Chains A and B, each alone.
Chain A
Amino acid sequence: MSSNGLDSRVPSGPIAEKWTRHKFDMKLVNPANKRKYTIICVGTGLAGASASASLSELGYKVKTFCIQDSPRRAHSIAAQGGINAAKNYQNDGDSVYRLFYDTVKGGDFRAREANVYRLAELSVNIIDQCVAQGVPFAREYGGLLDNRSFGGAQVSRTFYARGQTGQQLLLGAYSALMKEVAKKGVELYTRREMLDIIVIDGKARGIVVRNLITGKLESHVGDAVILATGGYGNVFYLSTNAKACNVTAAWRAHKKGAYFANPCYTQIHPTCIPVHGDYQSKLTLMSESLRNDGRIWVPKKQGDTRSPDQIPDAERDYYLERKYPSFGNLAPRDISSRSAKEQCDAGRGVGSTGQAVYLDFRDAINRLGKDVIEARYGNLFQMYDRIVDNDPYKVPMMIYPAVHYTMGGLWVDYNLMSNLPGLHVLGEANFSDHGANRLGASALMQGLADGYFVIPYTIGHYLASNKFEPIGADHAECKNAEAEAKKRIDTLLSIKGKRTVDDFHRELGLLCWDKCGMGRNKAGLEEALQKIPAIREEFWSNVTVVGSGEELNQSLERAGRVADFLEFGELMVRDALHREESCGGHFREEHQTEDGEAKRDDANFCYAGAWEFSGIGSTPNLHKEQLEFNEVHLATRSYK
């Protein structure tokens, strides 16, 4: 399975037995020896919190870091809709194999089969674990768990807690983490931002963080490092990500040798509140679960300015139902997003900007009653009303796609370890499970599978297979990394230019959205590849960051992150330019079928593209991991 030195370490044997066999084959760390190992975990979202808690329960010493004031605030908390699991509680034909199949197909055949199978297999344990922790999932009157449907699936396998599933799952993982903090198994460091990885003798042995309150740089060392630092969606400036989400931890690891895989696979979520002004700081998602009952449409006539209730059914185009009759409004995210763009590009978009489509609950309210709709989506309707000042019970919602999730990330093998030994990457920060498009309700599943059920096994194997020289935080590599970080901070503070950090971020974001967003083409990508280095250059000579580095300085924090986005953005565009095919969220306009669907090129691009850093502004080296599909045979995706 290796190519150009990239060994995915997928175990041999039938797909359904790989993980079981691998768990037996891996080396173990004796219970009494576990406390001799220190594991550093960065990030406290679903993946980081669940990993930290589970590793501490096993007896390892864990040091856990987060950027927020409390680990409970990581952006997993904002996930609304739900978490998939192949429990088949609905008796509708679900199985581990079907979840695996749907996920591989949904990812447009660009994920690693063995990882996806393991994910589907572990999904059932996650629900058990969460229920035991007290996660208050929605239940039926008989006291058993309820399910709803999500895009890309024809079974009901999504577990949910009202519209706040991510919040409840994270509070579960956070409570497990705080239980371990109380037992002193986990040392918790809040308001710390990771600025570098410490590599000693070719192994990741620690991190440099900045204490965001005092500005002090600290080195923390251990025997292995886990990054669970989320995705890079904020490279687009406007996204549904939280404001603090950034690529810095992953990017600094990349600069220390970790390969970055498939950065061009970005997910544009179809149902978000449209952009309305240049002061706007973020976009708000309206859960995909709304597509269970809402119908998406645009007026058939271009430039139709009638209010929606004045447009009779015969003059509406329910385009998803028309184009994809078997999945209808529950078509996968990439397809739904592109269809919305297509309608708006053709002049049928609605609202003041023409960059929106309707998501209409009229028929569901007539059929089920307002009470039922309110019980299902009340908090989402309320949120919409607050932001847009329009009552969706009366007037259809207006929605438009927005950047939401990033499938690309640091390359990892089957053990979730990057090519840099000792550096493990979990959740959205890695690249492995969703291919070129993630299905709804699968991000929560992956974060928790990685943290609760994969890393506790695989990290033990790594620790038991290697020898570790004792090191302290005063090691020369720590001092070097701290000095580098300090130099960068001092430079940012010394420029004293004329443009704010956000101003640069907006410029980069808009460029990435225009040229590397829902539709991409060669000319546009080449233009972006020219422009990003120019923006970066201006940033380093004309940015203004007021204040000092020895205090809480939020502009300085943002400056460091935007500086990294300005380097990362170039890689994302380069990856999109190199991938001369369309797959999932990566839609190259040159590569489409006659009816505008994504056209893959399996002969030439059936691989994960992992980039090796070779200097800022220098062309990175591409390593390919060839993807093999032995179970789900390569086929053109069809949701018709």
Chain B
Amino acid sequence: MSRKINLTLKVWRQKNASSSGRFETYEAKGIDTDASFLEMLDVVNEQLEKRGVEPIAFDHDCREGICGMCGAVVNGMAHGPEKETTLCQLHMRKFKDGDTITIEPWRANGFPIVRDLVCDRSAFDRIISAGGFIGVRTGQAPEAHSVPVGKDKADWAMDAAECIGCGACVAACPNASAMLFVSAKVTHLNVLPQGQPEKNKRVLGMVSQMDAEGFGNCSNHYECEAACPKGISVKNIAKMNRDYLAAAIKA
């Protein structure tokens, strides 16, 4: 059953990319435990607006855990304490009356802060442009059943393709590495028969762009997998490393 709880929020406020930020403290009173985390922020923001204070900027869109737009570090954890849950699907029943909650943006060299909890993740788009596709033009496709795909491969591709591109893996990594994201994207296409012709070019191009964007290296902490709201496995990183090695030898 729903209850009302009172919380203290410590929220990162930062005017824009070039200004320095700081934590501000706000009281969130009478929050319904059935509300989602973002709905709690909505309530706080409406109260701020009525007082003439600029509301907390945060990215969000679908609010059903699939668009990958939302995300903040809550009490030190990317997307908060619930396993395999985006911030929009985290509900206030997971908090206790009187809790203090710290809310910060993703922090990584590859994700410059835009304002408050909003950061710039366009690096991910540039990594996709560097090879995260199959180079087929519209109209060129053969009949769908002409190439059977084993269920094991189709399932593996789908497991990897479930990545929502939120960036929690980067935020959780002590090195701010983007290896989980990139490896999920590489694996999705590299395990499918349709992805074979560009397999080597893809992995080399995407890894090179990842490095150029300023993301750190992977040192096997696996914090990324723990933070991932879609449960993307680090076995994708191992697969990408194998593909990369094979491609680099041939290159």
Selected from A70, A138, A168, the residue in CB contact (under 8 A) with B122 is A70
User: For residue B61, which residue of chain A has the nearest CB?
Assistant: A242
Interface size class of B (residues with CB under 8 A): 35 or more
- Asked if B121 is at the interface of the complex by the 8 Å CB criterion, the answer is yes
Of A10-18, A279-287, A570-578, the one contacting chain B is A279-287
- Asked if B250 is at the interface of the complex by the 8 Å CB criterion, the answer is no
Within 8 A of B (CB), among A65-81: 68-73, 75, 77-78
Decide: A279 and B39 in contact? CB cutoff 8 A.
Answer: yes
Interface size class of A (residues with CB under 8 A): 35 or more
Bitwise interface map of A from 91 to 123 toward B, beta carbon under 8 Å scored 1, else 0: 000000000000000000000000000000000
Decide: B49 and A50 in contact? CB cutoff 8 A.
Answer: no
Alpha-carbon distance between A503 and B60 when the two chains are bound, in angstroms:
19
Question: B129 to chain A: closest CB distance in Å?
Answer: 4
Selected from B66, B91, B121, the residue in CB contact (under 8 A) with A167 is B66
Alpha-carbon distance between A137 and B144 when the two chains are bound, in angstroms:
11
Alpha-carbon distance between A139 and B147 when the two chains are bound, in angstroms:
12
The number of residue pairs between A and B whose CB atoms lie closer than 8 Å in the complex comes to 219
Contact residues in B for A78 (Cβ distance below 8 Å): 62, 64, 66-67
Decide: B145 and A552 in contact? CB cutoff 8 A.
Answer: no
Bitwise interface map of B from 30 to 72 toward A, beta carbon under 8 Å scored 1, else 0: 0010111011101100101110111101011111111111000
**Given contact pairs A131-B194, A139-B151, A551-B16, A144 touches B57 in the complex (Cβ within 8 A):** no
Contact residues in B for A190 (Cβ distance below 8 Å): 122, 125
Most chain B CB atoms below 10 A, which of A68, A176, A276, A554: A554
Decide: B194 and A132 in contact? CB cutoff 8 A.
Answer: yes
Contact residues in B for A282 (Cβ distance below 8 Å): 63-64
Question: B110 to chain A: closest CB distance in Å?
Answer: 14
Of A201-209, A298-306, A382-390, A471-479, the one contacting chain B is A382-390
Decide: A383 and B62 in contact? CB cutoff 8 A.
Answer: no
Contact residues in A for B188 (Cβ distance below 8 Å): 134, 136
Decide: A176 and B122 in contact? CB cutoff 8 A.
Answer: no
29 contacts between A and B (CB under 8 A): A53-B138, A68-B61, A69-B120, A73-B165, A128-B143, A129-B138, A131-B194, A132-B134, A132-B140, A134-B192, A136-B192, A139-B150, A143-B149, A164-B66, A168-B158, A175-B133, A178-B125, A178-B129, A178-B133, A179-B133, A182-B130, A188-B125, A243-B63, A279-B32, A282-B64, A284-B63, A383-B65, A552-B115, A554-B57
Most chain B CB atoms below 10 A, which of A140, A188, A386: A386
- Asked if A498 is at the interface of the complex by the 8 Å CB criterion, the answer is yes
Alpha-carbon distance between A242 and B149 when the two chains are bound, in angstroms:
34
Decide: B66 and A54 in contact? CB cutoff 8 A.
Answer: no
Bitwise interface map of A from 139 to 175 toward B, beta carbon under 8 Å scored 1, else 0: 1111111000000000000000110100110010011
Alpha-carbon distance between A279 and B40 when the two chains are bound, in angstroms:
8
Decide: B144 and A69 in contact? CB cutoff 8 A.
Answer: no
Question: A290 to chain B: closest CB distance in Å?
Answer: 15
Decide: B55 and A131 in contact? CB cutoff 8 A.
Answer: no
Selected from B52, B136, B140, B162, the residue in CB contact (under 8 A) with A164 is B162
Contact residues in A for B66 (Cβ distance below 8 Å): 77-78, 164, 167
Selected from B55, B142, B145, the residue in CB contact (under 8 A) with A555 is B55
Contact residues in A for B52 (Cβ distance below 8 Å): 544, 546
Given contacts A78-B62, A133-B194, A277-B35, 12 further A-B contacts (CB under 8 A): A54-B139, A75-B62, A128-B141, A139-B154, A168-B161, A175-B132, A190-B122, A243-B63, A279-B40, A552-B16, A552-B57, A555-B49
- Asked if A181 is at the interface of the complex by the 8 Å CB criterion, the answer is yes
Selected from A145, A171, A554, the residue in CB contact (under 8 A) with B145 is A145
Bitwise interface map of A from 284 to 319 toward B, beta carbon under 8 Å scored 1, else 0: 110000000000000000000000000000000000
Decide: A125 and B125 in contact? CB cutoff 8 A.
Answer: no
Contact residues in B for A143 (Cβ distance below 8 Å): 148-151, 154
- Asked if A612 is at the interface of the complex by the 8 Å CB criterion, the answer is no
Within 8 A of B (CB), among A510-555: 544, 546-547, 551-552, 554-555
Question: A72 to chain B: closest CB distance in Å?
Answer: 6
Bitwise interface map of B from 106 to 142 toward A, beta carbon under 8 Å scored 1, else 0: 0000000011001011101100111011111111111
Question: A561 to chain B: closest CB distance in Å?
Answer: 13
Bitwise interface map of A from 482 to 521 toward B, beta carbon under 8 Å scored 1, else 0: 0000000000000000101011000000000000000000
Decide: B2 and A277 in contact? CB cutoff 8 A.
Answer: yes
Decide: A136 and B157 in contact? CB cutoff 8 A.
Answer: yes
- Asked if B241 is at the interface of the complex by the 8 Å CB criterion, the answer is no
- Asked if B207 is at the interface of the complex by the 8 Å CB criterion, the answer is no
- Asked if A624 is at the interface of the complex by the 8 Å CB criterion, the answer is no
**Given contact pairs A276-B2, A386-B85, A144 touches B145 in the complex (Cβ within 8 A):** yes
